[in-house]
Structure 1
């Protein structure tokens, strides 16, 4: 092992970033799972026409994604109070809405690049991109199945 790799492997800041990342991914996936499970149970009870039902479902799913983005954004903002865990390049100081914006561009994998994580915080944001991609595609699959059930032209 090179000295840089060894120091990163034993760095408490890096291990803390790993723990925060695992907790955030578990929370976001759990939130998504429960959200879709509830929508699956509630959707048949809605007294709406098929297409209106799908429209409401879409708004609910977007709300679920917004909650997940804010979950990561709040964590990112909180982590920036500990400089050893990393910083966000492109803005100083990092305000809450800056962190939520960075979370949004990361979660959706748009990644404009005007804000960039540095240090152990990169692990949190890299994992958010993977998590966001998986959750967005999960939502797309769920929506497709619901549209097959309720969408009548």
Structure 2
């Protein structure tokens, strides 16, 4: 159980740092780029998507590590494919929780924390987008 807690906490911290690093660096540079009207917003939306997919991939790797450490399994998946684990991670991150794939054992802890983390990071992206758009409105369209 302690190993699952450590793995989950480490992933939570790393995912927050990864999301922050991608968003803060990219938005800082996106402000300097001259694009068509609305182009920078589209660019920032794409960057936000990349940040979220990067975090989903990190959680998918965590599930892979949890499987290798025998912390749990995905009982319904025989054979288990990387895309299935990535799909489960994406569904958990967005808090959809479709239930077609269900983790067992201590991997359930990772899934629960991933849903919380996804909610928090999606909210952070919304705040970044709001600040970016507010800044664009003050400077006018470039």
Query: What is the rounded CA distance, in whole Å, between the counterparts of 2:49 and 2:125 in structure 1?
Result: 9
* Residues 1:66 and 2:50 are matched in the alignment: no
Q: What residue in structure 2 maps to residue 17 of structure 1? A: 4
Q: What residue in structure 2 maps to residue 57 of structure 1? A: 44
Query: What is the rounded CA distance, in whole Å, between the counterparts of 2:12 and 2:45 in structure 1?
Result: 23
- Offset of 1:37 from its aligned partner? 1.5
Aligned partner (choices 34, 56, 59) of residue 21 of structure 2: 34
- Offset of 1:95 from its aligned partner? 1.4
Provide structure 1 residue ranges, at least 5 long, that are not aligned to the other structure: 1-13
Say what the alpha-carbon RMSD is for the aligned residues.
Answer: 1.6
Structure 1 residue runs of 4+, over 3 Å off?
none
Q: Quick check: 34-43 or 15-24, which moved more?
A: 34-43
Q: What residue in structure 1 maps to residue 113 of structure 2? A: 127
* Residues 1:86 and 2:88 are matched in the alignment: no
- Offset of 1:149 from its aligned partner? 2.3
Query: What is the rounded CA distance, in whole Å, between the counterparts of 2:80 and 2:128 in structure 1?
Result: 35
Normalised by the size of structure 1, how large is the TM-score?
0.84
Kept in 2: contact 1:70–1:100 (CA 8 A) = yes
- Offset of 1:91 from its aligned partner? 0.9
Query: What is the rounded CA distance, in whole Å, between the counterparts of 1:82 and 1:22 in structure 2?
Result: 16
Kept in 1: contact 2:72–2:107 (CA 8 A) = yes
Query: What is the rounded CA distance, in whole Å, between the counterparts of 2:37 and 2:128 in structure 1?
Result: 15
Normalised by the size of structure 2, how large is the TM-score?
0.91
Query: What is the rounded CA distance, in whole Å, between the counterparts of 2:54 and 2:81 in structure 1?
Result: 18
* Residues 1:139 and 2:125 are matched in the alignment: yes
Q: What residue in structure 2 maps to residue 8 of structure 1? A: none
- Offset of 1:50 from its aligned partner? 4.3
Q: For the pair shown, which has the larger CA radius of gyration, 1 or 2?
A: 1
Kept in 2: contact 1:80–1:94 (CA 8 A) = no
